[in-house]
Amino acid sequence: ALHPWWEQIAKWRARDSLAYKMNHDVIMPQYAIQRLYALTKDMDTYITTEVGQHQMWAAQHYHFEKPNR
């Protein structure tokens, strides 16, 4: 009974759902978060956001090394 559900999950995982198109006219928020990570990844960094879309972008595009950071 769970096999079709796991097949659907595998299809979702195969998509690059977090991909975005670069825009040279504006700074994309996803890019900004990824750059922030690149610049701070070797530091003892704390990241804070408000709740909402910014929190989602941080969770999805900042590659946290430790929990609760």
Instruction: Please compute the mean of the pLDDT values over residues 16-33 and round it to a whole number.
Output: 90
Give tens-digit pLDDT for 36-67: 999 999 998 888 999 999 999 999 999 887 77
- Is residue 37 within 8 Å of residue 61, measured between CB atoms? yes
Biggest alpha carbon–alpha carbon distance for the chain: 49
Higher pLDDT, 7 or 65: 7
Written as one string, the DSSP assignment of 3-63 is HHHHHHHHHHHHS-TT-----SSS--HHHHHHHHHHHHTTS-------SSHHHHHHHHHS-
User: How many Cβ atoms from other residues are within 10 Å of residue 37's Cβ?
Assistant: 17
> Sorting pLDDT into bands at 50, 70 and 90, what band is 27?
very high
Would you say the pTM of this structure is higher than 0.75?
A: no
